[in-house]
Structures are given as structure tokens and as C-alpha cells.
Amino acid sequence: MALTNDRYTYRVTWSGDDNEYIGLCVEFPSLSWLARTPEAALKGIRKLVAGVVKDMSASEETIPEPIASRSYSGKFMIRIPPDVHRKLAVQAAESGVSLNRLASSKLNQ
């Protein structure tokens, strides 16, 4: 029961508590799948998501849009303490770049 055009964001990681790999899907944070191998964990979570999407579709629920399909403006607002703002403004001035450029480069690290 694979999804057609499955563009969801999956991750497989080790679960020390369960002593198995766990498959996760960012767009469906309440779902997970445990398996002995990473490949089986990925296959399991994808199959689970496909089933949930099918059920949601049948009951006319809103199905989450894949993160990869969303469009982003490149802008977001962040609040920081005034002293951090001042420190970053000084660093930007000393480096001869805008505060925006400095913050963007720090977020990219």
C-alpha cells in the first residue's frame, strides 16, 4: 500500500529504549514504526502513513501537505533578548555586513 507521489519527510533512527530502529514521518508526528533493520523501519512507516492517508481521504479529512511541496518566502520573525541583538549588531558592523546577512550565515552553520 505505497503512496503514489509520496513526498513526505521520513527519518530512521536507532531507539536505545526499544533496541530497534524507529521510522518516523515529520508530517505525521504521532506515527512511528519499529523494526530490526533501518530498511524495514522505513518500509513500515511508509506503509503506515499510506494507510493513514487512505483513511483520512475516505473520511474527507485534511491530509497534511508534504514539507517539500510547501513554498517558503525566506522570511521569518525571531525574537531575541536585547543584549543578544546588540551583540549581533556590533558583530555585523565590525564585519561590514548587514545584521540580516550575519544572522543568516550563523543559521547556516
What is the model's pLDDT at position 4? 57
Residue 42: pLDDT over 80: yes
Same domain flag for 17 and 56 = yes
Average pLDDT over the chain, rounded to an integer = 93
Residue 60's CB is within 10 A of a number of other CB atoms, namely 7
Distance CA 28, CA 10 (A): 10
Same domain flag for 86 and 53 = no
Read off the pLDDT band of 109 (50, 70, 90).
confident
By residue range, what is the domain housing residue 42?
Answer: 10-68
Q: Is pTM, for the whole model, over 0.85? A: no
Same domain flag for 76 and 97 = yes
Residue 3: pLDDT over 60: no
DSSP secondary structure of 38-99: HHHHHHHHHHHHHHHHHHHHHTTPPPPPPGGGS---S-------HHHHHHHHHHHHHHTS-H
Q: Calculate the alpha carbon distances from 81 to 87, 92, 96 in Å.
A: 10, 17, 23
Q: Is residue 5 part of a domain?
A: no
